[in-house]
Amino acid sequence: GMVGIISKNGGTLGIVERLTGFASDSRRGQMVTGVLGVSIFFDDYANTLIVGNTMRPVTDRLRISREKLAYVVDSTAAPISTVALVTTWIGYQVGLLGTAIENIEGFSQGAYSVFLNSLPYNFYPFLALLFVFLVAYTGLDFGPMLEAEERARDTGKVLGDDANVDEAAEGEELEPPEGTPYRAVNAVIPIVVLVGGVLVGLYATGVQAVGADASLSDIIGEANSYTALMWGSLLGVVVAAALSLGQGILDLEQTVEAWYEGLKSMLFAMIILVLAWSLSNITEVLHTADYLVS
Inter-CA distances, 243 with 5, 12, 49, 168, Å: 10, 13, 20, 23
Position 94 in a domain: yes
Position 172 in a domain: no
Position 176 in a domain: no
Position 224 in a domain: yes
If phi over 0 gives left and psi between -120 and 50 gives alpha, with beta otherwise, what is residue 64?
Answer: beta
Q: How many CB atoms lie within 10 A of CB 234?
A: 14
Position 174 in a domain: no
Q: What is the pLDDT of residue 132?
A: 93
Residue 33 in contact with residue 62, Cβ under 8 Å?
no
How many CA atoms, within 13 angstroms, populate the side-chain half-sphere of residue 125?
18
Position 124 in a domain: yes
The DSSP 8-state label assigned to residue 86 in this structure reads: S
Residue 85 in contact with residue 46, Cβ under 8 Å?
no
| Domain count for the chain | 1
Give residue-wise pLDDT tens across range 42-84: 667 767 777 787 788 888 888 889 899 989 999 998 898 888 8
Tell me which residue of 233, 239, 230, 228 sits closest to 187, measured CA to CA. Answer: 239
Domain that holds residue 23: 2-165+181-293
Give residue-wise pLDDT tens across range 189-243: 887 888 788 788 878 888 887 777 777 766 766 677 667 777 888 888 889 889 8
Distance CA 221, CA 119 (A): 17
pTM greater than 0.85: no
Q: What is the pLDDT of residue 283?
A: 87
Tell me which residue of 43, 22, 42, 40 sits closest to 31, measured CA to CA. Answer: 22
Position 106 in a domain: yes
The CA-CA-CA angle for residues 234, 274, 292, to 5°, reads 140
Distance CA 225, CA 220 (A): 9
Quickly state the pLDDT bin for 269 (edges 50, 70, 90): low
